[in-house]
Structure 1
């Protein structure tokens, strides 16, 4: 029996076992094959989840014969629907674990592992399927393209915003900046929440590309009706090594990440949290340090 092993079981071991082996996978296979099905269930905004009991294949991940499976029809009363409050991997795991336990016990008692095998999986439209590879550090990085995608989304009461959904599914998310001493740093989002009611008209864009030859300060507008801006340097791409980060110039535009808080508010009133796009960032961690209120964490990065 294999449970979230994450590696191939060698052919010699499978062939030596009397019944070849079984695997419990927390998704409705063939949807979300891979090492991170729970994370991608949340990322893909699936409304239904489930468990699949499959045979082990020594050549491919999650391509065994499905011997038992949760209902794939949302109309089925026993289908495992994901409630709106289930927004984290821990909560989703808690939801599927009882179903997985029942399926394993029932499958062993029914002898589903005895050949000839009887396939029990569903046959979805291949176009609707997603892959669920292992989560990498790059998946957690907020790049320019990801910030732009998040910035352009429309707020909806029915749909969680991409930033909080991604933070809950695979976080903590992080991005690259450069402090006042010129050192590239990884800044990690510790806590973030949606800020409903904000419109594009009364907030700055997340990232702006600036002309280094333009000496006018366009980052700050002190009028009472304008948001208070706290721009910091933003860098795209792979993190540099320590030796490179102060000596190797980046071949990319000069960019700012625009933190802010609404007009008429005070930093203390916001408990030193800052906004980023349509989100309220409560706390951050600069690599090597602990969590701090966002404004305090960014003091060494803010462009004056």
Structure 2
């Protein structure tokens, strides 16, 4: 055997990715024509074998990165969205995509695009990634935190462009479709007009409801029990004002689901919606807007029942659609009006904080790091709560609304929070109908409320900590 033929033969026998494919006849048959059809010369055989092994390795990279239970390569098999079979499938030129994103939701879409690029290069020929520059964080702002999408793009070995503005910048010359998912930076008309197919966006709400950069957070804050995903075009003038090309089926939001869990669950659905509609060619002109399905109409009808009546001039109208503006650190600050919805806010925003004053008058930030509902699902839980109430120790803690006030003086009308500590050794406390499991005082490690707030609590009833 010639030396080059010997090398090629050894590569196909010994490389782990190819050996693993041998256990799956379907995959082996899919790759084998590419391996041997052009083997007219030993060098061609070696080169083709190497490229196949590289593709297998990249498949392994994307599988190892995914933190969801859905296999990215199988995204197109997911059935959790409305069928676009009513439309005539349109033929698209091979896509050279400029993908813009930042967070976990956009990572799922990029994973799906990359898998489709490997599986069907006639549809997706190349992908370039645009991310926002990393932000300095931590004490002294010495640590640079990069967006999750950059980490994923590096693992997938995709070209990366870090941009905080599109002014004076042009995308790669071959770009013919721009996809922006959870990006936060407006894609200007100049770039959209240069792109043959304009731009697409995957938005986790039933637009026009929850327009804006934080739809999932505001869905939880509003107590929404259902949401969905919309695939829209990128508008030339406003965020989230494009044509709706497709929508997912309704997605139920369980009562106590947090933002992270909801994001992990809804992200693969959005990625599936994107890939299936790219396969159907919905981005190819003339664009056809998707009319709302009966499920979407039912969702909007429910919002109409629960909507807020707004007076405009001499007439009244029901405002059923919410805006979803950017979430800031101040949104996590607890106010007296938030105490009845503290669990709802925790689910949407994570740890919550307020300013208090210890017994020495020192002002500190109190961070509630974990909130849970009290057990009220069965008779045993109700009886247990009633027994705990008999031995509850009640305390108040100052609740300072103006965090700019650094004076040590205590106002007579200064509001307080009442915390009830059950007669057990858990260290947890109850705030109304909610349970505070852990607390962090500014500058100290996370502890149980009993330990963390020892110097802040003022007894309301006889009893000592």
Do these two structures clear the TM 0.5 threshold for a shared fold by scoring above it? yes
Q: d(CA) in 1 for partners of 2:236 and 2:444? A: 43
Which residue, out of 347, 357, 362, partners 1:183? Answer: 362
Q: 1:25–1:53: 8 Å Cα contact kept in structure 2?
A: yes
Q: CA deviation at 1:250?
A: 7.9
Aligned to 1:158: none
Mapped pair 1:131 → 2:323: yes
Normalising by structure 1, what TM-score? 0.74
Q: Deviations over 1:15-68 (max 9, x none)?
A: 222222110001111111111111122222323222111111232211111111
Query: Against the structure 1 CA distance between its residues 98 and 226, is the aligned structure 2 distance closer, same or farther, given a 3 Å change threshold?
Result: closer
Q: d(CA) in 2 for partners of 1:20 and 1:95? A: 28
Aligned to 1:3: 181
Which residue, out of 252, 271, 295, partners 1:81? Answer: 252
Query: Against the structure 1 CA distance between its residues 83 and 167, is the aligned structure 2 distance closer, same or farther, given a 3 Å change threshold?
Result: closer
Q: How many residues are matched?
A: 251
Aligned to 2:239: 61
Q: d(CA) in 1 for partners of 2:254 and 2:397? A: 38
Q: d(CA) in 1 for partners of 2:277 and 2:334? A: 43
Aligned to 1:102: 272
Q: d(CA) in 1 for partners of 2:412 and 2:209? A: 38
Q: d(CA) in 2 for partners of 1:251 and 1:231? A: 15
Aligned to 1:209: none
Q: 2:356–2:400: 8 Å Cα contact kept in structure 1?
A: yes
Q: d(CA) in 1 for partners of 2:245 and 2:419? A: 51
Q: Which runs of 5+ in 1 are unaligned?
A: 72-78, 151-161, 204-223
Aligned to 1:217: none
Q: d(CA) in 2 for partners of 1:252 and 1:32? A: 41
Query: Against the structure 1 CA distance between its residues 288 and 173, is the aligned structure 2 distance closer, same or farther, given a 3 Å change threshold?
Result: same
Q: 1:69–1:121: 8 Å Cα contact kept in structure 2?
A: no
Q: CA deviation at 1:258?
A: 1.2
Mapped pair 1:272 → 2:427: yes
Query: Against the structure 1 CA distance between its residues 19 and 82, is the aligned structure 2 distance closer, same or farther, given a 3 Å change threshold?
Result: same
Aligned to 1:206: none
Query: Against the structure 1 CA distance between its residues 228 and 250, is the aligned structure 2 distance closer, same or farther, given a 3 Å change threshold?
Result: closer
Aligned to 1:115: 285
Aligned to 2:134: none
Q: What secondary structure does 1:284 align onto? A: strand
Q: Deviations over 1:169-221 (max 9, x none)?
A: 1121111111223222111111222224599xx99xxxxxxxxxxxxxxxxxx
* Alignment of structure 1 residues 227-238 onto 2, 5 Å: 227-237=392-402
Q: CA deviation at 1:88?
A: 1.3
Normalising by structure 2, what TM-score? 0.50
Q: 1:48–1:81: 8 Å Cα contact kept in structure 2?
A: yes
Aligned to 2:413: 253
Pick which of 226-235 and 274-283 moved more: 226-235
Q: 1:8–1:58: 8 Å Cα contact kept in structure 2?
A: no
Mapped pair 1:33 → 2:211: yes
Q: CA deviation at 1:226?
A: 7.0
Aligned to 1:214: none
Q: d(CA) in 1 for partners of 2:352 and 2:234? A: 33
Q: d(CA) in 2 for partners of 1:252 and 1:93? A: 44
Q: Deviations over 1:60-84 (max 9, x none)?
A: 211111111113xxxxxxx433345
